[in-house]
Chain A
Amino acid sequence: MTQAYQKVAYYPGCALEGTAHAYDRSTRAVAKALGLEIEELQNWNCCGAMEVKSTDPKLQTYLSARNLGIAAKMGHTAVMAPCNGCYHNLKKAEYDLRNDPASIETEKRISTKAGHASYQPGTVETIHALDWIKKAIGEDGLRARVKKSLSGLKVANYYGCMYSRPRHIFPEKDKGPGSESTLKPHFMDDVLGAAGAVNVEFPLKTACCGGAHTLSDSDTSTRLVLNILTTADACGADVIATECATCHSGLEMHQSRGEKVFGKKTNVKILYFTQLLGLALGLSARQVGVHENFSDSVGMLRARGLG
């Protein structure tokens, strides 16, 4: 187990304060249940998300670097970001500040203007919530802590496209046994498997959900999501487990839109992996924010004695 991850800086990001509040709630609840300590970054800012990145990628690097600098100032060596977009952007900032002179110059210029120190790359490691649980607790540790096994619950683990792409910003991945794979990610499978879930084979685990175009081109997004949902149904999944705020919202909203606009009903439920893990650790559905999800999974969970 990685001792360094027993206490980490926590960067929730904007989505977890809004549409993905259930992800924030369940992440905090799981941390408490597992005895892990998370300390929220003080005065954090948006990571630059898709909007800033599209307009000015160097500004996005600065915004993410500022958050990393805050984690360093608070004395942390690791910052945990549950949102794939935030995780991706912090990783990208780290990479750019090591390799791109223009990004370094922009970050220094804006930091000076804002009156704080520049972030020194390599000071803080960015980890995803999956890395954090997998490495701080591990599968054996989880098995020992499970109070209500997810036994029998068939889960399609959906990682989305930002968790492992582009490969060059994730130098710690693809390092063989124990490391995450960018081609076939498995950390969520490992974690939920240890909690008693049956992971179904799901061929679209890293496929695009159309998240970037969910407002500008809803039909494209709905079609992509419907294909993900029908594939999960066909794979026999009861639940799609998510680990990305954007993907999760997209799956939920387009599941509903798919039925209304395209007349296509899908049955699979959608839950954050932290919600499933929390239920397995004996937390109630309310404690992990199931009531905050857009789709209703309460009946299915009750029928299985969960939550």
Chain B
Amino acid sequence: MEPAEPKAPAAEIATLFDELDDTAVVPVLFASDDALQADRDAICVRLQAAAEQALEQWLLAHQREPTQGRLEGYRLLALQRQGARGDPSFNACRESCRELIYHCNISIVDSQSSPTHLRFAAMVCRHLLLFISGKLQNSGLGEFCCAARPLRTQEAQ
């Protein structure tokens, strides 16, 4: 996949990833068990939506229209497969996408263990956000807070 200009400015992409973590991941990690059990359906939707948004950014940065299709019933999996087309290294997040869905599903069908599985799902979601933001940065498609930035800037000059 050829690197291309992202649709959104790099700083905006970085902010978006921070917001996704703040709004979808952090509340799950700090919520009480009771709150997680009560709100588990909505939490799963938020976590999967955050992961989908991150994958959309990867595709948009490569000037590709994110699919609305589903794979095995999940848009998240379809987006991941689309994102890996032409860039097999992106498959390093395939199992993370599946893990995220797996833990969401367990949390919905088993209310007793749902707090644990929702926290797992949140941690996996965070890993996806970190992985995709790292990939965007390494492709020169996003500017995130990084100690290597001066080196990269120097190279570009």
Which residues on A are within 8 Å of B, measured CB to CB? 161, 165-166, 183-184, 201, 203-204, 206-208, 210, 213, 216-220, 223-224, 227-228, 230-231, 234-235, 261
**In chain A, what residue has the closest Cβ to B98?**
A183
Q: CB-defined interface of B112-129 with A at 8 Å, one 1/0 digit per residue?
A: 000000011101101100
- Give the CA-CA distance A13 to B120 in the complex, in Å: 35
- Give the CA-CA distance A206 to B91 in the complex, in Å: 11
Q: List 5 A-B contacts (CB under 8 A).
A: A204-B96, A208-B96, A213-B138, A218-B147, A219-B146
A interface SS class: loop
CB pair A220–B123 under 8 Å, yes or no, is: no
Q: CB-defined interface of B87-123 with A at 8 Å, one 1/0 digit per residue?
A: 0100111111011000100000000000000011101
- Which of A184, A219, A231 is close to B123, meaning CB atoms less than 8 Å apart? A231
- Give the CA-CA distance A207 to B134 in the complex, in Å: 13
User: For residue B95, which residues in chain A have a CB less than 8 angstroms away from its CB?
Assistant: 183-184, 206-207
CB pair B137–A234 under 8 Å, yes or no, is: no
CB pair A217–B88 under 8 Å, yes or no, is: no
CB pair A207–B91 under 8 Å, yes or no, is: no
- Which of B92, B98, B133 is close to A208, meaning CB atoms less than 8 Å apart? B92
CB pair B99–A203 under 8 Å, yes or no, is: yes
User: For residue B98, which residues in chain A have a CB less than 8 angstroms away from its CB?
Assistant: 183
User: For residue A184, which residues in chain B have a CB less than 8 angstroms away from its CB?
Assistant: 95
A231 to chain B, nearest CB (A): 4
- Which of B119, B126, B145 is close to A227, meaning CB atoms less than 8 Å apart? B126
A221 to chain B, nearest CB (A): 8
A247 to chain B, nearest CB (A): 12
Interface centre among A207, A216, A218 (most CB of B within 10 A): A207
User: For residue A230, which residues in chain B have a CB less than 8 angstroms away from its CB?
Assistant: 123
- Give the CA-CA distance A213 to B147 in the complex, in Å: 12
- Which of B88, B131, B148 is close to A219, meaning CB atoms less than 8 Å apart? B148
B35 to chain A, nearest CB (A): 17
- Give the CA-CA distance A207 to B138 in the complex, in Å: 18
User: For residue B131, which residues in chain A have a CB less than 8 angstroms away from its CB?
Assistant: 207-208, 224
User: For residue A235, which residues in chain B have a CB less than 8 angstroms away from its CB?
Assistant: 120
On whether A220 and B134 interact (CB within 8 A), knowing A203-B103, A203-B120, A228-B127, the answer reads: yes
CB pair A219–B147 under 8 Å, yes or no, is: yes
B interface SS class: helix
| CB-CB contacts below 8 Å: B65-102 with A | 88, 91-96, 98-99
A249 to chain B, nearest CB (A): 18
**In chain A, what residue has the closest Cβ to B146?**
A219
B147 to chain A, nearest CB (A): 5
CB pair A204–B148 under 8 Å, yes or no, is: no
- Give the CA-CA distance A206 to B137 in the complex, in Å: 22
Q: Cβ of B26 < 8 Å from any Cβ of A?
A: no
Q: Cβ of B130 < 8 Å from any Cβ of A?
A: yes
CB pair B127–A217 under 8 Å, yes or no, is: no
- Which of A166, A203, A216 is close to B124, meaning CB atoms less than 8 Å apart? A203
- Give the CA-CA distance A207 to B119 in the complex, in Å: 16
User: For residue B151, which residues in chain A have a CB less than 8 angstroms away from its CB?
Assistant: 216
- Give the CA-CA distance A204 to B121 in the complex, in Å: 10
- Which of B88, B124, B134, B145 is close to A210, meaning CB atoms less than 8 Å apart? B134
Interface centre among A165, A184, A203, A234 (most CB of B within 10 A): A203
CB pair A220–B92 under 8 Å, yes or no, is: no
Interface centre among A183, A204, A216, A235 (most CB of B within 10 A): A204
* Given contact pairs A203-B124, A206-B95, a sample of 11 additional A-B residue pairs in the complex whose CB atoms are under 8 Å apart: A165-B94, A204-B123, A204-B127, A208-B131, A217-B138, A219-B144, A220-B130, A220-B144, A223-B134, A224-B127, A231-B120
User: For residue B147, which residues in chain A have a CB less than 8 angstroms away from its CB?
Assistant: 218-219, 261
- Give the CA-CA distance A203 to B151 in the complex, in Å: 34
The 8 tightest CB contacts between A and B, nearest first, are A220-B134, A231-B123, A208-B92, A203-B120, A219-B146, A206-B95, A217-B148, A161-B92
- Which of B88, B120, B145 is close to A166, meaning CB atoms less than 8 Å apart? B88
User: For residue A227, which residues in chain B have a CB less than 8 angstroms away from its CB?
Assistant: 123, 126-127, 130
CB pair B91–A166 under 8 Å, yes or no, is: yes
B99 to chain A, nearest CB (A): 5
